[in-house]
Amino acid sequence: MPKIRKAKISDIKNIHKLLNMSAKQGLVLPRALNDLYEHARDFFISEDKGNIIGFCALHLGWNDLGEIKSLVVSEQLRRQGTGRQLVTKCINEAVELGIKRVFALTYKPDFFLKLGFREIDKSKLPQKIWGDCMKCPQFPECNEYAVIKNL
């Protein structure tokens, strides 16, 4: 049975490897290793028998707004509930922190819609657009969907 826990610094290189493999498949955007170290506290890890099988981050972005980022589950273990457990863990932490809304930019909006998110226009997230998206090589031709959930 997989266990979910907060990430440790020793997990970051494995997170980077799995994340970039998923990025090559077009499932998530790649992230630099130094970015992952800087945001290590944001990550939850799903671990089975000592192996990282998935991860997800809750990034605090604004006054009452959090972002679910970098959701990755090992290819052979997808569709078994790990992604749902990771996102739920992030949502629970957001509630504990007093966050009122969480959003995600995703290539798989249906996954999030099943978890109670709703689709919104990216222009409703100006802090994200001006803070991160402007730096992305895919901007402004991004094909990610924005989803949000009120907590």
What is the CB-side half-sphere exposure of residue 67 using CA atoms within 13 A? 18
Query: CATH for 3-150, among 3.30.365.10, 3.40.630.30, 3.75.10.10, 3.40.50.920?
Result: 3.40.630.30
Q: What is the pLDDT of residue 130?
A: 45
Asked whether 73 and 54 are in contact (CB, 8 A), the reply is yes
Rounded to a whole number, what is the distance in angstroms from the first to the last CA of the chain?
28
Which of 73, 96, 98 is closest to 83 using CA atoms? 73
Confidence at residue 36, expressed as pLDDT on a 0 to 100 scale: 95
Residue 15 burial (CB < 10 Å; 0-12/13-18/19+)? buried
Starting at the edge strand found earlier in the chain, the sheet holding 3-6 runs 3-6, 43-48, 51-62, 65-73, 101-106, 145-150, 118-120
pLDDT by position in tens, the chain (length 151) = 789 999 999 999 999 999 999 988 888 888 889 999 999 999 999 999 989 999 999 999 778 899 999 999 987 767 778 999 999 999 999 999 999 999 998 989 999 999 999 999 887 875 654 455 445 555 556 678 899 999 9
pLDDT at 127 (0 to 100): 60
Look at strands 118-120 and 145-150 and give their pairing: antiparallel
pTM of the predicted model as reported, rounded to 2 decimal places: 0.87
Would you list the domain boundaries of the chain?
3-150
Q: What is the largest CA-CA distance in the chain?
A: 42
